[in-house]
Structure 1
Amino acid sequence: MGSDNTPTSDEFRPVVLRVLADGKARPLREIYRAVADQMKLAPEVLEERVSSGEHRYSHRIRWACSALAFGGLLERPKRAHYKITENGRVVDAREVGELFREGHAGMACVAGISRRGDHTQS
């Protein structure tokens, strides 16, 4: 397992939104590659593994996708595929990291956007 130089799932979330900003549904494997490429992850980071043997970066990207889906910013059109929602487009990708770093308050904000179906910016 070794050291942990992989970005956190919080750090992956804004990049996931940017990767999916074109509105296309993408399989997780494609999202993993695109996010890793955009973040220019070092080869040693791409080789880090969690105790199950899975690559740490893909494990964290999957958690980022799950959190974004829970917040209503992504949808799962089919198993292991994600697509940005209209609400995901509302949340600026540069600010989504801040929302999630705020913890429950940030999640409440994202959930509020989803419940209202508020597709307009203030």
Structure 2
Amino acid sequence: MIDYTTLKHQADGTPTWDAFLGIILKVAVERQDWQSSELIQRTLEEANLPQSMLQMRYPQKSHDLVMRNRVSFALSDLAISGLLDRPKRGLYLPTRRGQELSKEYGINITRTLIHNEPAYKKYKQEKSNQK
């Protein structure tokens, strides 16, 4: 398990969404495929967050759990970057590239690193062309 206090965090001490990138990949390579809810749950377990953080909710959206939302956001960026494959809604598979980066960087995968992946750059270019 990881000591969550060593992760990149916000002023309130909670991990930022991108602090979960490396943890998600570390967990994802444990199996061939994951349902999103299982991968989120296993990532939160690996991060070893205290119950108070796990139960935090956004004030304006009392049903949304903050940490689950942050892991979901990181999952999305990992899929866009080509590090996780999303063959259908709610199903994630680690890609070869995701496995390579997980092995090379461990949990120290940054937003900058994944946003420099060719798949992410292609996605951003396509989004900008749609405007």
Q: How far did residue 72 of structure 1 move?
A: 0.5
Q: How large is the Cα RMSD of the aligned pairs?
A: 2.6
| Distance (Å, rounded) in 2 between the aligned partners of 1:32 and 1:112 | 23
Q: How far did residue 77 of structure 1 move?
A: 2.1
Kept in 2: contact 1:6–1:56 (CA 8 A) = no
2:109 paired with 1:97: yes
| Distance (Å, rounded) in 1 between the aligned partners of 2:42 and 2:89 | 19
Structure 2 residues without counterparts, runs of 5 or longer: 1-10, 123-131
Q: TM-score, normalised by structure 1?
A: 0.75
Kept in 2: contact 1:24–1:83 (CA 8 A) = yes
**How many pairs does the alignment contain?**
108
Q: How far did residue 14 of structure 1 move?
A: 0.3
Q: TM-score, normalised by structure 2?
A: 0.70
The range that moved more, 23-32 or 81-90, is 23-32
2:7 paired with 1:16: no
**1:41 pairs with one of 46, 49, 70:** 49
Q: Which amino acid aligns with 1:43?
A: Q
| Distance (Å, rounded) in 2 between the aligned partners of 1:4 and 1:24 | 35
User: How is 1:1-122 mapped onto 2 (pairs within 5 angstroms)?
Assistant: 4-50=12-58, 51-52=60-61, 53-91=63-101, 92-94=104-106, 97-98=109-110, 100=111, 102=112, 107-108=115-116, 110-111=117-118
Q: How far did residue 48 of structure 1 move?
A: 0.5
| Distance (Å, rounded) in 1 between the aligned partners of 2:119 and 2:35 | 27
